[in-house]
Amino acid sequence: MGHDVEQDGGHLPGSHGEHVLQSLFDTRARAENFYRRQVAEHLTVPMREFIGRQEMAFVGTADASGNCDTTFRSGPAGFVRVLDETTLIYPEFRGNGVLASLGNILENPHVSLLFVDFFDDLAGLHVNGRATITTALDAHRRYGLAAADRTAPGRPAERWVKVDVEEAYIHCSKHIPRLARKDRKDGPRPASGDYFGLAREVAARPPREEERPTPTP
């Protein structure tokens, strides 16, 4: 969705684009019913309890030019912490060093989190807001999140992302598959870093002109 926009003298959740399409495709009545009944500017008690049970989240960000990135985050239940009805915070662990999501947030603070319970509730929750990057030390000082508090097995958070909630709404259960939890040891071998073969493909390419060694006279 997006921020509230003025429409016919009032303010509605969502973007101008979705309102235009609602008129074009004659879905405005259904959309306004959803806005009125399902969209909140804060996290309700059931929403906060739902987040506290989740072990995964999908995080959407975009840079200043609108180029998008969606990533996956996971940890023990409650690894995304709800600080209050309008604030949550999630950990960032050591990764590949690219820092794509954090880089986007540095340019554009708008962030979208999608929590989906594939196992029990078969429901999802969208949370949109504005993100701020903070260090583990600052998170400890401000919010009591200890640097040594391992929110994923054996891994302390290197930094945290605080989200000031602007809207939250349900993703209904339609088409959400029910999955079963299995120990990772019982499944197939985890994918390698070159699961999609790109490193092998790069290694097989002939060197570009600028990479060719300079002949010695």
Residues 163 and 62 in one domain: yes
Residues 130 and 156 in one domain: yes
Phi, psi torsion values for 191, nearest 5 degrees: -65, 145
The pLDDT tens digits for 92-108 are 998 889 999 999 999 99
pLDDT at res. 154 = 63
Q: Structure tokens of 22?
A: 């609602």
Whether residue 182 lies inside any domain: the answer is no
For the chain, the distance separating the N- and C-terminal CA atoms, rounded to the nearest angstrom, is 64
CATH number for the domain that contains residue 148:
2.30.110.10
Residues 141 and 156 in one domain: yes
Residues 123 and 30 in one domain: no
Whether residue 145 lies inside any domain: the answer is yes
Whether residue 200 lies inside any domain: the answer is no
Residues 134 and 149 in one domain: yes
120 sits in the region (left: phi over 0; alpha: psi -120 to 50; else beta) called alpha
Whether residue 96 lies inside any domain: the answer is yes
Mean pLDDT of 144-155: 63
> What range does the domain containing 107 cover?
45-171
Phi, psi torsion values for 99, nearest 5 degrees: 60, 45
For residue 58, give the nearest of 72, 68, 43 by alpha carbon: 72
The pLDDT tens digits for 1-52 are 765 555 554 577 889 999 999 999 999 999 999 999 999 999 999 999 999 9
- Contact in structure between 131 and 111 (CB atoms under 8 Å): yes
Whether residue 199 lies inside any domain: the answer is no
Whether residue 22 lies inside any domain: the answer is yes
- Contact in structure between 137 and 160 (CB atoms under 8 Å): no
- Least confident range from 11-20, 79-88, 127-136: namely 11-20
Residues 63 and 10 in one domain: no
Residues 69 and 20 in one domain: no
- Contact in structure between 18 and 30 (CB atoms under 8 Å): no
Residues 191 and 196: their CA atoms lie apart, in Å, by: 9
Residues 154 and 129 in one domain: yes
Say what the alpha-carbon torsion angle 202, 205, 206, 207 is, to the nearest 10 degrees: -20
Mean pLDDT of 154-166: 90
Domain tally, the chain: 2
Residues 97 and 125 in one domain: yes
- For residue 147, is pLDDT > 60? no
Q: Structure tokens of 89?
A: 């915070």
Whether residue 194 lies inside any domain: the answer is no
Residues 33 and 85 in one domain: no
Residues 115 and 17 in one domain: no
Residues 29 and 50 in one domain: no
pLDDT at res. 4 = 58
Whether residue 208 lies inside any domain: the answer is no
The pLDDT tens digits for 54-67 are 999 999 999 999 99
